[in-house]
Amino acid sequence: MLIKKMVVLISVVALLALTYSTDSHARYTKRAGKWESTFNFINSQSTNANGEGGSSIELDSDIGWGFSLGYNVNPHILINYEFSSITPRYDATFVKDDGSPTSIKHEMNIYQSQFNVVYNLMAQNFTPFVQAGLGWSYLDSNKTNGSGGCYPDYYWGWYCYQDTYSDTRLSYNVAAGIRYELSNGMLFRASYKQSWVDLSHSDALELGTVNIEIGSIF
């Protein structure tokens, strides 16, 4: 499924690139040696992962947000840091020590921090691009693990909290999309990204997202 999605997307952006490159109005970019930042609108796709002993988790699709900050080494190579946040609802099944299953339905927080290398195929203000990155993901189930505590607060009196089941794991991604720059320094990017989160007791969690970015070059 991932290969089919990436092939379709790359084929579309290649066709757009071919059409645009034959346009006499195509302009060369001035992004080389400059920084850029974007705000990201994210649509995450539903997914699932299977674990040990029959456990599993299913995540619904969700709308999230993110941002990036990067440096254009030259017209083709961009190195950036990317942060994203989604809060999908999930349905998890766990198997107890006695073999009986139990289900939990709740909302999960997923925060991803990735360092990416982006390759723009053309040195023009419109170009397809591909990306690969590595970083970490923080997952919080928002379900208490039974621990917590209280401490005195100067303004509010006693403050109590409960710890939740959460973890920080290695993650990596690939993406493909298109990029367009305006003469005033604004830029727009649209892409499909597939990321994998290495989980400790289950298959890697695969997250597919459609990303729309608006930003500026400075």
* pLDDT tens digits, 170-207: 999 999 999 999 999 999 999 999 999 998 777 889 99
- pLDDT of 62 > 70? The answer is yes
**Per-residue model confidence (pLDDT) at position 61:** 97
Domains of the chain: 2-23+45-91+111-140+167-217 (2.40.160.20)
Helix%, strand%, coil% for the chain, nearest 5: 10, 65, 20
pLDDT score for 209? 97
**Which residue would you say has higher pLDDT here, 155 or 48?**
48
Number of H-type helices and E-type strands within the chain: 1, 12
As a whole number of angstroms, the distance between CA 182 and CA 17 comes to 17
pLDDT of residue 24: 45
pTM of the shown model = 0.81
Q: Are 124 and 145 in contact (CB under 8 A)?
A: no
Tell how far CA 111 is from the center of its chain: 8
Residue that has been written with the tokens 């995540």 in this structure: 59
Bigger pLDDT: 19 or 42?
42
Percent of the chain predicted with pLDDT > 90 = 61
Mean pLDDT (the chain, rounded)? 85
